[in-house]
Amino acid sequence: GDSVTQMEGPVTLSEEAFLTINCTYTATGYPSLFWYVQYPGEGLQLLLKATKADDKGSNKGFEATYRKETTSFHLEKGSVQVSDSAVYFCALLGDYGQNFVFGPGTRLSVLP
Amino acid sequence: NAGVTQTPKFRILKIGQSMTLQCTQDMNHNYMYWYRQDPGMGLKLIYYSVGAGITDKGEVPNGYNVSRSTTEDFPLRLELAAPSQTSVYFCASSPRGFSGNTIYFGEGSWLTVV
C-alpha cells in the first residue's frame, strides 16, 4: 500500500538557519503530495501541495518540489523563524485513493 | 465559514464509559475521516466515509464505531473506553477524491481515559 516516510525529529535550529525536512513516498500511479503543519495545541493546516511531477509548491517561504524520479517531496525554507516551530507532516493522496496517507511528522524547534 | 467543527474539545472519561465525538462540516464535502494522534506520533486513520450512508474501516478501527446519516455529520462513538484510547482525535473532510484535493481538519478533541 501507499506509504510516506519522513526524517526523524526533533530538529532544532537557530533563527535564520536553512531548513530541510526530507520526505519520500511509495505509491502507484501519480499521487498528489502535501505538507501540513501543526502548531502547538492546534489542528493540522495545509502548508503547500503539488499535484504532478516537477511541480513546486510554496507558501510562507517554504518550498517543496515533487520529484517523481526520486519519489521525494522535501520541505525547505531558507531562513527559519521562531514562529515556524511546529510539527510538519508530509502526506499523499493516491491517484484513485480515497484516503490521505500521512507521515509520522517531524517536530521543528527554532531557537532565538 | 466554519469549516470542520468538532465537539467536545476536551473530555475525561472513566474506563468503560461511552461517549460520542461530534463532527460537522459545512463545505458539502463527500469524504470525511476520523484520525487519532498519539503523543509524539503521526496520524492513524480510524474510519472514513465517502458519502452519506457509506463508512469503511481505516487502520485502527477497533473500539470505535461511526455513522454517516447526512453529508454534514460524521460522529465517532467510543463504546467501552479504555486507557489505550487516550489520544487526540481529529475529524477531517475533503471534496470527492480527485487528485490534488486538500483535506481540511477540525481543531481536535483531546480525550483522556482514566
A10 shares contact with chain B (CB less than 8 Å): no
pLDDT band at B5 (very low <50, low <70, confident <90, very high): very high
Contact with chain B for residue A45, Cβ under 8 A: yes
DSSP character for B85?
Answer: G
Q: Please, is A20 exposed, middle or buried when counting C-beta atoms within 10 Å of its C-beta (0-12, 13-18, 19+)?
A: exposed
User: With 70 as the cut, is the pLDDT of residue B99 above it?
Assistant: no
Q: Assign residue A58 a region: left if phi > 0, alpha if psi is -120 to 50, beta otherwise?
A: beta
Distance of residue A14 Cα from the nearest chain B Cα, in angstroms: 22
Cα–Cα distance for residue pair B112/B98, rounded to 1 Å:
36
CB distance A30–B90 less than 8 Å?
Answer: no
Structure confidence by residue, pLDDT tens digits, A53-76:
999 999 999 999 999 999 999 999
Shortest alpha-carbon distance between residue B16 and chain A (Å) = 27
What is the structure's pLDDT at B17?
96
pLDDT 10s digits, A76-98: 999 999 999 999 999 998 776 66
Separation of alpha carbons A4 and A81, rounded Å: 26
- Contact of A99 with chain B, judged by CB distance below 8 Å, is answered with yes
Q: Do A102 and B42 touch (CB under 8 A)?
A: yes
A contacts of B25 (beta carbons < 8 Å): none
- What confidence score (pLDDT) does residue A58 get? 97
CA distance A69 to chain B (A): 19
- Mean pLDDT value of segment B52-59: 94
* Residue A99 to residue B2: CA distance in whole angstroms: 23
Neighbours of B114 (CB within 10 A): 9
Which pLDDT value is given to residue A14?
A: 97
Contacts of A53 in chain B (CB under 8 A): none
Could you tell me the pLDDT band of residue B70, with boundaries at 50, 70 and 90? very high
pLDDT at B39: 77
Q: Which residue has the higher pLDDT, A52 or A98?
A: A52
Decide: helix, strand or coil at residue A10.
Answer: coil
Looking at the complex, report in whole angstroms how far the Cα of residue A105 sits from the nearest Cα belonging to chain B.
6
Residue B53 CA to its chain's centroid (Å): 16
Closest CA to A43 of A97, A99, A86, A106: A86
How sure is the predictor about B101, in pLDDT bands with cuts at 50, 70 and 90? confident
DSSP SS3 for A84:
helix
Q: What is the pLDDT of residue B51?
A: 92
